[in-house]
Amino acid sequence: MAYTYSISTDFPNHKVDPSRLVTEIQASSIVTALASIGTAGDVCSILFKADLSVEDKATLDGLVAAHSGEPLPQPGYESDGTPIVTLKHRQDDGVPTQAASPRTGSEIVIGTHNFADPTTWFGDSVRVESEALADSGDGLVWGSAHVNWIDMRTGRMHNQEHWRELVDHGYAGEVKVDGVTMTHCAPFDFTASTGDYWVDYDEGKIHFFASQAGKAVTASYSYENGSVFYVRPLAGKILRIEDAEADFSKDSILTTCFGYIVVGLADVFAPDMVPDPLPSGTLVPLQTDYYLRVSQIVTEARGSLPPIDPIGATPEELLIEDLKEFRRKSRGMKHSVQAIPFNYATARDLHSSYGMELHVKTNDGQPVQGEHMTITFYCTSKDEA
């Protein structure tokens, strides 16, 4: 099946490099085999060995809309023609050591929330202001309408300071008694010497050190509303995901489907569907990959790093069996962690102008069992041309 495009109107730079376009199509999520690419005048014909699905056609449209038309760089050269300089020398054991020239752009390391701990799932969290809490009966413990309050205070979320700065409320909690703001005790210090109360984020409860019976207790907080973690380029930038690493605690049990979705604007990747049936600005899936078994993750990995033994917890803390209580009381690790690295050097670049994002999630919004499961993405960010 042949699909034709106008070189002057469909390609952004009004030119086509067939070799580059072949590489881009073969690296995409399109599963139908490519037969050939030809140009004649203003027409570029892309021939496949069978008809494309609606999704694959949308992907092809997106590839055309993003195609630069520039020839692929020759081996040993950057895309702008700059030679890659490699310095070589040998170690004492005769093994050569190489140092390549630095990458262009800014380096960004993005660590997801803990898919085993919903109190870190801030991406789609809901903000609640001044909710009236219910006394559990003794004036000491007061409950809210929601569990899994977002904890951006005790280090459960990697780089929590960065994520707090992205929203006005900073995911901070505020507790008032009869309209007077109370003081949260210091992290990991569950005594009245540093505050009036501590928070059970998992259960959505306030624990006072002195009874507040008969008083009006209110709380402002954020609670989780789904497992999606969003990877987005900054405005005017391209985010390239080059490498990734999955970290699993030894007690992890994959009880749910886990994976990721690449999305982009329908205006770019499915323009024939805008405005009917999709309104302008709708994000459509471009690539979807789910892991139903751990073996699928292992198969895709490029190896494994030595396990990291439990560190940072006292012997008394390690005896705590309940993981939620352990997370509240200990700064350390209860179980060893296995790191599994991946290489995504050929992964799709995320263009901010195309509305492209990477969504990492569990399929049904259920947490992974165990202490810890995170994904870390090693990226570069550069200006869109």
Residue 79 lies in a domain: no
Q: Answer yes or no: do 245 and 205 share one domain.
A: no
Q: Answer yes or no: do 159 and 205 share one domain.
A: yes
Looking at the 3D structure of the chain, how many domains does it have? 3
Burial label for 280, CB within 10 Å (0-12, 13-18, 19+), is exposed
Q: Answer yes or no: do 146 and 11 share one domain.
A: no
Q: Structural domain of residue 325, as residue ranges?
A: 107-113+227-383
- Here the contacts of 321-325 (C-beta below 8 Å, separation 24 or greater) are 323/370, 323/371, 324/202
Task: Give me the half-sphere count of Cα atoms (radius 13 Å) on the Cβ side of residue 305.
Answer: 14
Which pLDDT score is estimated for 250? Answer: 96
pLDDT digits (tens, 9 = 90+) for 88-125: 445 555 555 544 444 556 889 999 999 999 999 999 99
Which pLDDT score is estimated for 48? Answer: 83
Its pTM stands at 0.73
Under-70 pLDDT residues of the chain = 73-105, 344-347
The answer to whether 25 and 63 are in contact (CB under 8 A) is yes
Q: Answer yes or no: do 183 and 241 share one domain.
A: no
- Tell me how far apart the alpha carbons of residues 237 and 383 are, in angstroms, rounded to a whole number: 5
Q: Answer yes or no: do 175 and 273 share one domain.
A: no
Residue 97 lies in a domain: no
Which pLDDT score is estimated for 93? Answer: 55
Which pLDDT score is estimated for 273? Answer: 85
Which pLDDT score is estimated for 345? Answer: 46
Which pLDDT score is estimated for 231? Answer: 95
Which pLDDT score is estimated for 157? Answer: 95
Q: Answer yes or no: do 232 and 373 share one domain.
A: yes
Computed on alpha carbons and rounded to an integer, the radius of gyration of the chain in Å comes to 26
Q: Which of 223, 251, 283 is the last residue of a domain?
A: 223
Which pLDDT score is estimated for 309? Answer: 95
